[in-house]
């Protein structure tokens, strides 16, 4: 493979990535829709699938409003750290602050998987270290892609067994 066919991070063009989005401050439904457009508005990150929006109770952290969560699949020519920087720029555009761990937020974007690439780097751990336990990631992902797997296990099966499933519901407008 030539140098021109690799990203700065060394990933192959068109790498499949799954991103989880969440919001519980402000107009969360509009924030999620805008964030998906912001993430995929260029030619280096293309939307390939999108889940329905689910409403979930907050997990961990202080008392806070329910979240709206969504999962998207993209094909990207960015490397994993470039994609992380892109996600963080979109979070910043939506006024994300990082003052309280697991606290309320206007927008949170996590990279769940990035092709077959894995990392234990504290800055970017992939697959996401808690994805297999989080219904707010697993349920929308399983609705988007019923055949999806994480670590060789069915995402739908993981979703059915996730501890934080109570309180999860498909978001309904109005």
pLDDT of residue 44: 94
pLDDT of residue 160: 86
- Please report, for residues 6, 41, 63, the alpha-carbon distance to residue 60 in angstroms, rounded to integers and kept in the order given: 38, 32, 9
User: CA 62, CA 102: separation in Å to the nearest integer?
Assistant: 8
pLDDT of residue 57: 83
What is the set of domains in the chain, with CATH numbers? 3-170 (3.30.70.560)
In 3D space, the residue among 12, 15, 52, 46 whose CA is nearest the CA of residue 32 turns out to be 52
- The predicted model scores a pTM of 0.87
pLDDT of residue 167: 60
Running along the chain, 174 residues long, what does each successive block of 10 average in pLDDT? 48 88 95 97 94 87 87 96 96 79 84 95 92 91 96 93 65 53
Residue 89, SS3? helix
For residues 130 and 41, the answer to whether their CB atoms sit within 8 Å is no
Positions marked active-site: 96, 105, 108, 110
């Amino acid at each position: 493979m030539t140098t021109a066919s690799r990203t700065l991070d060394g990933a192959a063009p068109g790498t499949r990535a799954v991103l989880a989005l969440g919001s519980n401050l402000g107009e969360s439904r509009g924030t999620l829709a805008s964030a998906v457009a912001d993430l995929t508005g260029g030619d280096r990150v293309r939307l390939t699938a999108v889940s329905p929006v689910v409403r979930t109770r907050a997990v961990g952290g202080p008392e806070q409003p329910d979240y709206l969560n969504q999962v998207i699949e993209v094909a990207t020519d960015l490397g994993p750290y470039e994609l992380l920087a892109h996600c963080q720029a979109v979070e910043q555009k939506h006024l994300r602050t990082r003052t309280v761990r697991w606290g309320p937020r206007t927008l949170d974007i996590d990279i769940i998987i990035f092709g077959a690439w894995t990392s234990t780097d504290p800055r970017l751990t992939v697959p996401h270290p808690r994805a297999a336990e989080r219904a707010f990631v697993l349920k929308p992902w399983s609705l988007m892609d019923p055949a999806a797997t994480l670590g060789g296990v069915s995402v739908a099966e993981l979703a059915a067994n996730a501890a934080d499933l109570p309180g999860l519901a498909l978001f309904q407008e109005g």
